[in-house]
Chain A
């Protein structure tokens, strides 16, 4: 007798748990042949809000641990991703007509990107901060500090690499993340939650939502608890919508435009200048050591 295959129910990852959307809605994901490949959650603004709550609660501990420890945790995430290369490569190919080699290359670049950010966790302070010259017997330092909850709006493609590269930058500095995954292919976003859960990332530090991004722009921008927004590949109309909505709460909004090749250029996507928009620079006086 032939075996009935068990298809995975894709859920969102909020507050360290795999949850269905509170709205009860789902999206049918079709593969490149137009067949039904999967159903994913169609997340709502309420899901976004509850994700922000989780991220906000997780911020104190995530920003409080040492950069060294954060680096180890991000590296662990890279290890987990490496161990599931095949699964992610297959997930990437569900909705996009790309070769298996290209899909693997995207997974590899995502792993490398995480490793780069793992490295930056205890080094970005030295690059972005400074010791300021003063005319007296004391010190004046400028030190970067994470802001809080950063919302990430992933590009349609590359569906995995785009998400990882955008969330890595604010994450490594100690911000907590609410990411809305690719509209084009939500499956890598859905399974990235499993990587987070098995890699010592504390609950609430990374929250992953799938759904229709355009529905959420307004709510992401106007939510006052969100300190920053990081996105790429948005239309001008949507950029204006987000910037206008963010003005009231003075959010940091960063739109990058990476070309297809740029995404694979670690120096570009994992540059400390992509971390810089999501830190506050605090300048402090310090008495001389002697």
Chain B
């Protein structure tokens, strides 16, 4: 039987990760690692094909500069289903994946058939990864079976595409609920077949609800992943999204991942940041260490 979540201790533990000193060489490594883990995201009503193409260019080459060793590309570009084809074409051969939100993102308040069709269409358009939202209404009403069943059906609809399950922790009220939802999501995904490393992620938020990703919430989810790994040997991925804006925050998260799950998770196959403005702050810190002078925000292209 799992111990209940101790909110006070989780918050203290999460804060402790912000007190590590990461300087010079290890900072440079950490920044590059963070950059390679970003899911560069645009999820707005005003997104246009041209905006997505420009974002894809930034994803492949985050910063036009001569720097040794060359900067990594980001992990993926995350868009709405209708823009998946545009992103797919722009990213062809680059190694950057296309992620698509689906299942009636961000609310998920649509009939199941519509949500499943959303997934099928996104996969058909070429999405390598599907970011689904769970049915929070059902979860908070205690209909756990319904939530689990829907997740299982979505995973089947994904086929070979990877699945990220958004819990929308900002709407789950308590850390205990976050843990329950994490366990539920992982088990529901596993119920449809074996999971290879990186095939299933749990993700904090849509970015449309505040608070989005916080360190305590992420820690609780990382612990769920750790416990599942210890029990089954299966590695589930983690993606905090929303509210991570600075390179310093990103390094805090990396420390938390390392100290909770270990080095195995320190790569873009098992850990991602859902963010857009984070990219330029990471680049700004990298450029500071390279050039010695602190860059202006307008020195980097808009994400």
Contact = CB atoms under 8 A, between A and B. Distances in A.
Interface stretch (B99-107, B181-189, B251-259, B295-303): B295-303
Contacts of B294: 49, 52, 219, 222-225
B296 A249 contact: yes
Nearest to A52: B294
A225 B297 contact: yes
Contact of B293 (A52, A56, A222): A222
A49 B297 CA distance: 12
Contacts of B297: 56, 225
A248 B292 CA distance: 12
B12 to A, nearest CB: 22
Contacts of B293: 222-224, 245, 248-249
A48 B294 CA distance: 11
Main secondary structure, interface of A, reads helix
Interface string B41-54: 00000000000000
Contact of B295 (A219, A224, A245): A224
Main secondary structure, interface of B, reads loop
Interface string A34-52: 0000000000000001001
Contacts of A223: 293-294, 296
Interface in B253-303: 292-297, 299
Interface string A241-280: 0000100110000000000000000000000000000000
A225 B294 CA distance: 8
A135 B292 CA distance: 50
A222 B299 contact: no
B27 to A, nearest CB: 14
Contacts of B295: 224-225
A119 B203 CA distance: 54
Nearest to A248: B293
Nearest to A226: B296
Contacts of A248: 293
B294 to A, nearest CB: 5
A56 B280 CA distance: 15
B199 to A, nearest CB: 39
A49 B294 CA distance: 8
A52 B296 CA distance: 10
Contacts of A249: 293, 296
A242 to B, nearest CB: 13
A224 B296 contact: yes
A49 B296 CA distance: 11
A222 B296 contact: no
Nearest to A49: B294
Nearest to A56: B297
Interface in A189-237: 219, 222-225
Contacts of A245: 293
B251 to A, nearest CB: 15
Nearest to B293: A222
B22 to A, nearest CB: 15
B142 to A, nearest CB: 43
Interface in B158-178: none
Interface string B234-262: 00000000000000000000000000000
Nearest to B295: A224
A224 B292 CA distance: 11
Most buried by B among A52, A225, A245: A225
Interface in A10-68: 49, 52, 56
A249 B297 CA distance: 13
A15 to B, nearest CB: 14
Contact of B292 (A49, A52, A56, A222): A222
Contacts of A222: 292-294
A224 B293 CA distance: 7
Contacts of B292: 222
Contacts of A49: 294
A105 B292 CA distance: 44
Interface string A53-87: 00010000000000000000000000000000000
Contacts of A219: 294
A224 B296 CA distance: 5
A3 B141 CA distance: 61
Nearest to B287: A224
A8 to B, nearest CB: 29
Most buried by B among A219, A222, A245, A248: A222
Contacts of B296: 223-225, 249
A224 B295 CA distance: 5
A57 to B, nearest CB: 10
A245 B292 CA distance: 11
A45 to B, nearest CB: 9
A52 B284 CA distance: 14
Nearest to A222: B293
Nearest to A48: B294
Nearest to A219: B294
Interface of B: 292-297, 299
Given A219-B294, A224-B296, A224-B299, 5 more contacts: A222-B293, A223-B296, A225-B294, A248-B293, A249-B296
| Those 10 A-B pairs whose CB atoms lie nearest each other, nearest first | A222-B293, A224-B296, A225-B296, A223-B294, A224-B295, A224-B299, A224-B293, A49-B294, A224-B294, A225-B297
11 contacts: A52-B294, A222-B292, A223-B293, A223-B294, A223-B296, A224-B294, A225-B294, A225-B295, A245-B293, A249-B293, A249-B296
